Amino acid sequence: MGVMRMGYAHVRVTDMAEAKDHYATTMGLYETRSDVSADGNQRVFYKGWDEWDHHSVVLEEGGVGVVKYGWKVEYESDIDDIERKARDFGLTVERMSAGENPEIGDGIRFTTPSEHVFEVYHQATAIGTEVGTHNPDAFPRHLVGVGVPALDHSLITCEDPALMQSMLERVFGFYATERVQTSLDDDAHLIATWMTSNNQIHQLACLEGPQAKLHHFAFRLGDWNEVGRAADLMAMDDVPIDVGPTRHGITRGQTVYFFDPSGSRNEVFAGGYLAYRDRPVSVWTPEQLGKGIFYHARELNDRFTTVLT
């Protein structure tokens, strides 16, 4: 199968105490490790209650923005296959050893055409979900805050979304589910693309913009009610909300966008349709982009298109 899912998002924060309050107390992530990086920066590792691998989010003190993404593959041999495809695409690939990332095995690392760092691995320490696998309950009895179950996806910006789409197709075996382009013509300029390797509506989206920037990373929720409850909890905790609760036209997902204390945008995301490789790609054109992003209001706010980290 190759890439199964985004395994982790590693992001920078300006104040670790504030960040921990946000991600642990408001979002309800579980801390699995705290240490100091080789650069001397404090790091904290988190997982959601329905994730079984050691971590899915890494916070590192010292600035803002994304440090790197980890992608988990199904088989050890997939690492060699992706390395070969990445080199054929013209990327410079380096090997990483088990332990370079705590609780993560051997793998490869490369910088994408968007100047984001991707790591590919197969082995991760499994510590189990909070409800276990033996006659499990539907959710943990004592959820904290929003109680997000898992990391879901991310949106990055890049100067050439078409090049990133090509890389994700040829190296990772991803396919596009939705696109924004200047017209319906086959040779239209690509503005944004939503991509996945499985039935998840998107694992990574790429939007035309500055290189190496993070627009947001998102956590999965179950339904509209959970999205609304999350917004209520954000109001209680004075979390700055960007937009929502609302629905996307693109992906049909239900959403709230908000900011962590460092100014990085988060999202909680529910719903969306199932993706299949033979499903026709949904194409949006610029005059309908407001409806595509925010289906109800049908217009974009300035923050959504300009605030990046």
Structure tokens, 18: 């504030």
- Which residue ranges in the chain fall short of pLDDT 70? 1, 297
- Model pLDDT, residue 95: 97
Residue type, 215: H
153 catalytic per annotation: yes
**CB contact at 8 A, 215 and 190:** no
Give the span between the Cα atoms of 135 and 130, in whole angstroms. 12
Structure tokens, 176: 């596009």
202 catalytic per annotation: yes
State the CATH class of domain 150-306: alpha beta
Q: Do domains 3-121 and 150-306 have the same CATH topology?
A: yes
Catalytic choice (10, 116, 202, 215): 202
- Per domain, the residue ranges of the chain are 3-121, 150-306
- Model pLDDT, residue 297: 67
Catalytic choice (51, 83, 130, 267): 267
Catalytic choice (153, 175, 178, 215): 153
DSSP for 72-106 reads: EESSHHHHHHHHHHHHHHT--EEEE-TTSSTTB-S
CATH code that applies to domain 3-121: 3.10.180.10
257 catalytic per annotation: yes
What is the pTM assigned to this prediction?
0.96
- Model pLDDT, residue 185: 86
- Model pLDDT, residue 286: 85
Give the span between the Cα atoms of 48 and 33, in whole angstroms. 13
Measuring CA to CA, which residue among 88, 73, 103, 68 is closest to residue 5? 73
Average pLDDT, the chain: 95
- Model pLDDT, residue 33: 97
Residue 241 is inside which H or E element, if any? strand 241-247
